[in-house]
Amino acid sequence: MEEQDIVSSTEATSGAPGTSQGVIPAHLLRGQKALVTGANSGIGRATAVALGRAGADVVVNYVAGKDEAEKVVEEITGFGVRAAAYEADVSDEQQVVAMTDRMVREFGTIDILVANAGLQRDAPFTEMTLAQWQKVLDVNLTGQFLCAREATKEFLRRGVVPEVSRAAGKIICMSSVHQIIPWAGHVNYASSKGGVQMMMETLAQELAPKKIRVNAIAPGAIRTPINRSAWDTPEALEDLLRLIPYDRVGDPEDIGHAAVGLASDLMDYVVGTTLYVDGGMTLFPGFATGG
Ligand code: NAD
């Protein structure tokens, strides 16, 4: 590998304690076209940037916050690849179809989908409104279903192009440790992520014979706007760290790096798996000293 093919990913990070260090080979995804939903913030942003560093052309989807999306595009084009910001609400069928059609028209095809967009609407169970339940299911689960379906149509139309990738397409569903950890006060969110797990595994089983790899990433606690209250005071941070054996909150780049790996042919034999990127949160840390 030539030296200029190695791009440090550290300068994209804030330099905060615990910031992930690493290198991304700049040719790993060269020639591939990636769509990342909810890519103007947090994990989606870091994932879109990491895919761009790895050589992919990237569509940065957003539903609100065009300026942020344009900044992500600017950062990605700085790596010498193509990028564009597309507005679409992932829970709206027509908008998802229009977005994927536009990507095929303007970028030629889709090789990688990172179905990342998601939100929380928290409430104690008896106070949770149907609207709160429905909104979270619509975005977190139905949104992934719609994006995966439309991307899959394009993967099947195009088939495998061996010079580009051994697979006809890769789908990465952004799940959560809450696909297996129940979460009081968040029944809509936990149910949506449990649904993502079974949707991902079923799609993986159905699509593997067509050479489409479907996998998920289950982040633990990652420092983003979605969970600010869990880490932005010293007391909250101390409580949170008790749940993380590796003793640091994750950075969005931790997830971006995992997505690059899963999307690349280095992981061509990884099918239907959830990669937990959680500092050990799912290792039942309460049992380290108890039980
Ligand atoms: P975030 O709030 O920073 O980002 C969420 C993104 O989704 C935003 O860009 C938002 O605009 C977008 N979005 C929301 N509704 C949308 C819609 N209808 N259409 C298109 N985009 C929409 O939060 P994040 O932490 O980066 O979350 C990204 C994903 O990671 C989510 O699926 C979340 O459930 C998952 N996750 C996050 C953590 C964490 O600790 N941060 C942990 C586990 C899972």
DSSP structure string for 136-168: HHIIIIIHHHHHHHHHHHHHHHH---TTT-SSS
What integer pLDDT is reported at residue 6 of this predicted model?
A: 44
Average pLDDT over residues 10-27: 54
Give the Cβ contact number of residue 258 at 10 Å: 21
Alpha-carbon distance of 254 to 21, in angstroms, equals 9
pLDDT in tens, 130-155: 999 999 999 999 999 999 999 999 99
Q: 229 CB less than 6 Å from ligand 1? A: no
CA 287 to ligand 1 centroid distance, Å: 30
Contact between 32 and 82 (Cβ < 8 Å) = no
What integer pLDDT is reported at residue 127 of this predicted model?
A: 98
What integer pLDDT is reported at residue 290 of this predicted model?
A: 82
Q: Which of 40, 119, 227 to mutate to test the pocket of ligand 1 (most atoms within 8 A of CB)?
A: 119
Is the pLDDT assigned to residue 12 strictly greater than 60? no
Whose CA is closest to 151, among 258, 31, 259, 61? 61
What integer pLDDT is reported at residue 190 of this predicted model?
A: 98
Q: 188 CB less than 6 Å from ligand 1? A: no
Q: 226 CB less than 6 Å from ligand 1? A: yes
Is the pLDDT assigned to residue 18 strictly greater than 80? no
Give the Cβ contact number of residue 272 at 10 Å: 16
Q: Which CATH architecture has domain 33-279?
A: 3-Layer(aba) Sandwich (3.40)
Q: 142 CB less than 6 Å from ligand 1? A: no
Is the pLDDT assigned to residue 101 strictly greater than 80? yes
Helices and strands, counts by H and E, the chain? 8, 9
Alpha-carbon distance of 32 to 52, in angstroms, equals 10
pLDDT in tens, 183-218: 999 999 999 999 999 999 999 999 999 999 999 999
Grade residue 24 by pLDDT with cuts at 50, 70 and 90: confident
| Strand 112-115 with 169-174, pairing | parallel
